[in-house]
Amino acid sequence: MPIDWPQQSVADLQKAGVLLVEDGNHGEYRPRRDEFGNGPWAFIRAANMDTGRVLFESAQKINDAAFDRIRKGIGQGGDVIFSHKGTVGKLAFVPLDAPPFVCSPQTTFWRTLDQARLDRRFLYYFMQSHAFKVQWSARKGETDMADYVSLTAQRQFSVTMPPVDEQRAVAAVLASLDDKIEQNRRTAEALERLARAIFRAWFVYFEPVKAKQAGASSFPSMPQEVFDALPTRFTNSEIGPIPEGWDVKPLASIATFLNGLALQKYPPRGDGEDLRVIKIAQLRKGSTEGADWANSDVPEQYVIEDRNLLFSWSGTLEAELWFGGKGALNQHLFKVTSTRYPSWYCLLWVRQHLPWFRAIAASKATTMGHIKRGHLEETKVVVPPADVLRAADASIGAIYDLHAQVMVESRKLMVMRDLLLPKLLSGEVRVQIEGGSSGKS
């Protein structure tokens, strides 16, 4: 049975010196436009928060003069960041070794001041709970801004307070799952960097052919028999010199780009067969969490499975292999399939041309930039002989097989974490504490 753990208000915890909650509303001290871009201090917005992480590398930076002038909203390692304006409800735990940073007016930091009473990681997991979401959802829109939860409202929230040993035990279990998910994320990124490096070496910069032309007798990562069959000369093409015997084709010719459906025409029935609707937002975060539903009458070709290649051609242009589970393809997304070429080959050619596609979309005088099918015809790719492509598939394809295993494992770990979180926070499932007597209740 769940345990009725005591609750304490944020205001009381602040008075007791246990917790500090402060937003990034800097007033007259806020950074000026000319103070961005030339300094070391990260300025964290909601856009710099993703799946529990703070994306310091993508954040704008401010200079020393701006940082020294700011008097509040300066975050540090161990803080929990909460987005309270615009996009409300995003959370991130700041690594303990992170340097100081500045919260934007969109974000608030929650800082544990007394670890003997409130564990900082437990606070982060409590803020992921349904109980916490209910609190901020009820206060959202109290002002004339629909997507805003004020600092005053946040300080009126309450926090569940089990004994601190129990807090630490709960946090340790959930953090172990999150740590493995984070490790998998880094592994997946490393695998993709390796695959992309091989792809560009072979098919964009033609390094094996150039090496053979220069007198080399082999090339790293390329089977000897394939290297021996490579040409030593280049020929002119519409995109410049390419290896002799290779070809240039439109991107549209190597794969089918299936546009999604307006899935509001397939309203959910609640019969257990409904499908999650995969929109651009789901593609960006790699998850169907919070997604809409559609009924299972969606035609089969619009059903998405793990490892399908998705390409958003409108709004935020991204190309990703999908690992968020079964769903239905919404409009503004292409499902990219090919009967002749591996999915990684199609993915990496789309990504190779993403900067150009994004420039086209950005030039549109509309609120949502996009590309057209004609741009897929205009975009050219280099197609090697079949033996070279087979050799590349044996190498790059194997890397993406490992990548898929890591991504699927991560999704299973996320499901496990999300199932455990409410049970652990409520005391329905308890963790054995060293020297103590917890267990299943």
What is the reported pLDDT for 436? 54
Q: What is the pTM of this model?
A: 0.90
Residues 6 or more apart whose CB falls under 8 angstroms from that of 4 comprise: none
pLDDT of residue 434: 66
State the number of CA atoms in the 13 A half-sphere of 149 facing the CB.
25
Name the residue ranges covered by the structural domains of the chain: 7-161, 163-229+386-441, 252-383
- For residue 102, which of 63, 136, 151, 128 has the smallest C-alpha distance? 63
β-bridge mates for residue 7, sequence order: 160
* Third-level CATH fold of 252-383: Adenine-n6-DNA-methyltransferase TaqI; Chain A, domain 2 (3.90.220)
Q: What's the CA gap between 11 and 143, in Å, rounded?
A: 20
Q: Which residue has the tokens 């969606």?
A: 298
pLDDT of residue 75: 97
- The per-residue pLDDT for 439 is 43
Ranges of the chain with pLDDT below 50: 437-441
Q: Where does residue 332 fall: left (phi above 0), alpha (psi -120 to 50 degrees), or beta otherwise?
A: left
Q: Which CATH class is domain 163-229+386-441?
A: mainly alpha
Which tokens sit at 290? 């919070």
Q: Is 89 left (phi over 0), alpha (psi -120 to 50) or beta?
A: left
pLDDT (tens digit per residue) in 18-29? 999 999 999 889
| Beta-bridge partner residues of 8 | 159
Is domain 7-161 in CATH 3.30.420.300, yes or no?
Answer: no
Distance CA 305, CA 404 (A): 12
Domains 7-161 and 252-383 share a fold: yes
Strands 53-54 and 242-243: unpaired
Neighbours of 258 (CB within 10 A): 14
pLDDT of residue 441: 33
Instruction: Name residue 48's beta-bridge partners.
Output: none
